[in-house]
């Protein structure tokens, strides 16, 4: 009787590479939405027809921003800062999926049970992984936000923008601006992946390999829930990492609470949710594509690693056979 084969699982490194690859592909596809939501989140309200924020244009909606940027800067303007953004996405997703895999594996090993963690534990594991990832990757996020909000005549590359942040603010610590807000925002991926696991258990109980549309559906739904819950903090973090508005006379914000108070005082409470349209749309598409791609990438990596192991095993067997053959032919006749 043949026993059931044990399911093959990726190592933390393999899971991280699969997650980073999926994240880069998904974000590259919808990058213009990321640029637009950032511009909407840092701009202030128009006052008597004048822009309240020191940016090129005032955008009324996602479509308005899309049209104005394309008309003024061409299609390439919709991809301003994409190199830094994709670098940030790759590093953040790699770090997140690596540490999430590590902490989840350690938790499962410590409890010695095949039963998956409950919702609270799943959220906690995601938060720990997200916090560790943010510490290492936030400088790229700061630089990318600056690039996305630079006026047309003041565009700088990744290195130049990073140097500007270091020179003009708090030295090297300026690259970690918004870290506290980012650490609080680890609840976003925690909610996202916690919700993903729970929705998967609800809609596709006992199913290990999801179809592309199933993974897309779960990823999109889980990200929408997380975005609605954390949008004010997302807006505050963008405000921390971008250039200070003219009303601040060049004085940067120090805390996300300070950003939120400034927005409420000058623009009203609902402005804490500005840019939520493209934020949710981007999140729906990115998370859906990410989870769909990650599922496929994980299967591809499992197949690749299985092939590599088989090749190594065959080479080792050939080496053993060759060594045995050599030893046999070199034996004295009396010992054969």
Can you say how many angstroms the Cα of residue 75 is from the centroid of all Cα atoms in its chain? 24
Quick one: pLDDT at residue 201? 82
Quick one: pLDDT at residue 292? 66
Quick one: pLDDT at residue 170? 65
Quick one: pLDDT at residue 324? 66
Residues 181 and 149: beta-carbon distance below 8 Å = no
Quick one: pLDDT at residue 301? 67
Furthest-apart CA atoms within the chain: distance in Å: 107
State the Cα angle at 27 between 83 and 296, rounded to 5°: 125
**DSSP labels for 270-306?**
GGGGTTHHHHHHHHHHHHHHHHHHHHHHHHHHHHHHH
CATH number of 12-300: 1.50.40.10
- Domain extents in the chain: 12-300
Quick one: pLDDT at residue 53? 43
For the record, the structure tokens of 125 come out as: 């594991």
Which of 244, 242, 126 lies closest to 185, judged by CA?
126
Regions in the chain scoring below 70 on pLDDT: 1-11, 44-56, 113-116, 119, 152-153, 169-170, 189, 287-288, 290-298, 301, 305, 323-336
State the Cα angle at 28 between 27 and 34, rounded to 5°: 55
For the record, the structure tokens of 106 come out as: 């350690």
Alpha-carbon span 171 to 269, nearest angstrom: 33
Alpha-helix residue ranges (DSSP H) falling in the chain: 12-29, 31-42, 62-73, 82-111, 119-148, 158-168, 179-184, 187-203, 212-241, 256-267, 276-329
Quick one: pLDDT at residue 109? 79
Quick one: pLDDT at residue 2? 43
- Spatial neighbors of 128 by CB under 8 A, at least 6 apart, are 99, 103
pLDDT digits (tens, 9 = 90+) for 177-231: 777 777 777 777 677 777 887 888 888 877 777 787 887 788 778 888 888 888 8
């Amino acid at each position: 009787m043949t026993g059931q084969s044990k399911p093959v699982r990726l190592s933390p490194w393999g899971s991280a590479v699969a997650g980073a690859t999926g994240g880069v592909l998904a974000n590259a596809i919808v990058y213009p939405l990321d640029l637009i939501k950032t511009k909407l989140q840092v701009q202030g309200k128009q006052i008597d027809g004048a822009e309240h924020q020191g940016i090129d244009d005032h955008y009324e909606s996602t479509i308005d921003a899309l049209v104005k940027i394309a008309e003024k800067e061409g299609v390439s303007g919709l991809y301003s800062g994409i190199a830094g953004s994709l670098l940030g996405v790759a590093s953040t997703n790699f770090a997140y999926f690596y540490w999430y895999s590590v902490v989840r594996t350690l938790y499962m090993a410590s409890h010695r049970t095949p039963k998956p963690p409950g919702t609270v534990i799943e959220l906690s594991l995601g938060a720990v992984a997200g916090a560790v990832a943010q510490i290492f990757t936030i400088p790229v996020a700061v630089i990318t936000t600056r690039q996305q909000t630079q006026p047309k005549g003041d565009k700088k590359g990744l290195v130049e923008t990073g140097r500007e942040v270091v020179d003009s603010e708090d030295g090297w610590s300026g690259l970690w601006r918004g870290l506290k807000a980012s650490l609080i925002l680890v609840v976003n991926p925690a909610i996202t992946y916690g919700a993903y696991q729970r929705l998967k258990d609800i809609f596709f109980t006992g199913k290990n390999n999801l179809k592309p549309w199933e993974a897309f559906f779960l990823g999109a739904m889980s990200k929408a829930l997380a975005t609605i819950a954390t949008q004010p903090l997302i807006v505050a973090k963008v405000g921390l990492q971008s250039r200070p508005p003219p009303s601040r006379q060049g004085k940067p914000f120090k805390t996300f609470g300070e950003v939120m108070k400034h927005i409420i005082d000058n623009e009203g409470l609902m402005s804490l949710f500005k840019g939520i349209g493209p934020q949710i749309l981007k999140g729906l598409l990115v998370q859906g594509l990410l989870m769909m791609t990650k599922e496929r990438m994980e299967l591809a990596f499992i197949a690749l690693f299985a092939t590599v192991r088989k090749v190594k095993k065959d080479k080792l067997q050939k080496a053993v056979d060759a060594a045995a053959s050599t030893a046999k032919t070199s034996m004295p006749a009396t010992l054969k």
